[in-house]
Structure 1
Amino acid sequence: MKLAQIATAFVLAIAAFGPAKAQSTEEFLTIQLKDGPVVVQLMPDVAPKHVAQIKDLAAKGEYDNVAFHRVIEGFMAQTGDVQFGDMENGFEPGRAGTGGSNLPDLPAEFSDKPFVRGTVGMARSQDPNSANSQFFIMFGDGSFLNSQYTVVGQVVAGMENVDKIKRGEGGNGEVSDPDRMVKVTVGRN
């Protein structure tokens, strides 16, 4: 190949793939906790429907003041029950974790993304197509969840604040007087 042909092939390759794009701030979720912010990089390429629903709920302020109702040491912290978990508007401790939102449940978007420390996954019932608004953040590895739950993101900053979330005392990680997501916004704030 001549130099001119190589240069032409290079230019065509760049045109085909386009310039590298900076990540949109809309691909992040910032969760303000009592101890500081947690930044989650969302994965719309992995779970587009779930990410869109989380962003919609966050943009409407639905996640603000929602309890971490189930927190298990070494495993995960679960939150996002906007129906029964809002600690400033209709909080029902006995029902927190059983509700969702006024949006529809979503079909599973399982992937090969592993559940490791900082992974954010969607909570659901035994029905794989029942995820709605609840999600959890992993404290450690959870390979037994791989390809069984939808991965929506990864904590990229503030994991030390997740580590400070109050743990549950009950057999299923139920938390009395739980910590909450103070404010949740779309973007890297």
Structure 2
Amino acid sequence: MALYTPAYQPTGEEVAVIKTSKGDITVQLAGKDAPIHVGNFVELAQKGFYDNLKFHRYVPGFVIQGGCPNTRDLTPEEVVHQAASPFGGLGTGNPGYSIKEEFTTNPNNSHEDGALAMARSQNPDSAGSQFYLCLGPQHGLDSGYTVFGQTIEGLDVIATLRVGDVIEGIEIKNAAE
């Protein structure tokens, strides 16, 4: 799969408001540290790519993951059912491309509580649209996954998210025109 370079050039001021069925999560995006990931996330959010996707993976004390387009046309109940099956196909979707990893170049690539990072497959350059939020510090991931934001409001909301909960939309504040 070809690597995509986003046209959007982050300023470092971007803030994402992830609107979920459980409440809003506000994340300061790390545009200076992970410009490819932030540019990609901003573009997808502004296109409405994340609208109505569901969280499909929850590991208590570890992460809550969403952004798989395979969840778009499923009800929350169907996502819960399919997530329980290794053959459910959830967690395999992407936007049709992948982006270059930045965990080796991000000077602040630290998986703190509430960190926003991109999920990927075995290939380091396979991230696309799926993201996760850390449920507590996860420094074992620092050397293999790109952190591109940190939650500044809504840790309480993150703590309540489960498989099937809906990403109603993602609003980007302070985006350059």
Q: Which runs of 5+ in 1 are unaligned?
A: 1-22, 167-174
Q: Distance in 2 between matches of 1:43 and 1:137?
A: 14
1:88 offset after TM fit, Å? 5.8
Amino acid across the alignment from 2:31: P
Q: Which structure 2 residues correspond to residues 1-189 of structure 1 after superposition, within 5 A?
A: 24=13, 27-82=14-69, 84-87=70-73, 93=82, 94-102=88-96, 104-110=97-103, 111-112=106-107, 113-166=109-162, 175=163, 178-187=164-173
Instruction: Give 3-state SS (helix, strand or coil) of 2:127's partner.
Output: coil
1:134 offset after TM fit, Å? Answer: 0.5
**Hey, what does 1:13 align to over in structure 2?**
none
Deviation of 1:87 (Å): 4.2
Structure number with bigger Rg: 1
In 2, Cα distance between equivalents of 1:179 and 1:50:
24
TM-score, normalised to structure 2's length?
Answer: 0.79
Deviations 1:154-176 (A, max 9, x none): 0100111111112xxxxxxxx4x
1: CA distance, partners of 2:36 / 2:71: 23
- Name structure 2 gaps, 5 residues minimum: 1-11, 83-87
TM-score, scaled to structure 1:
0.75
Q: Percent identity?
A: 35
Could you list the per-position Cα deviations for residues 52-93 of structure 1 after superposition, in whole angstroms to 9, with x for gaps in the alignment?
1110110011101111100111001000112x121469x874
Which aligned runs of 4 or more in structure 1 are off by greater than 3 angstroms?
A: none
Higher relative contact order (CA 8 A, sep 6+): 2
Q: Work out whether residues 119 and 153 of structure 1, in 8 Å CA contact, stay in contact via their aligned partners in 2.
A: yes
* Aligned length in residues: 152
Q: Deviation digits for residues 109-133 of structure 1, max 9, x if unmatched?
A: 0134211101011000010010000
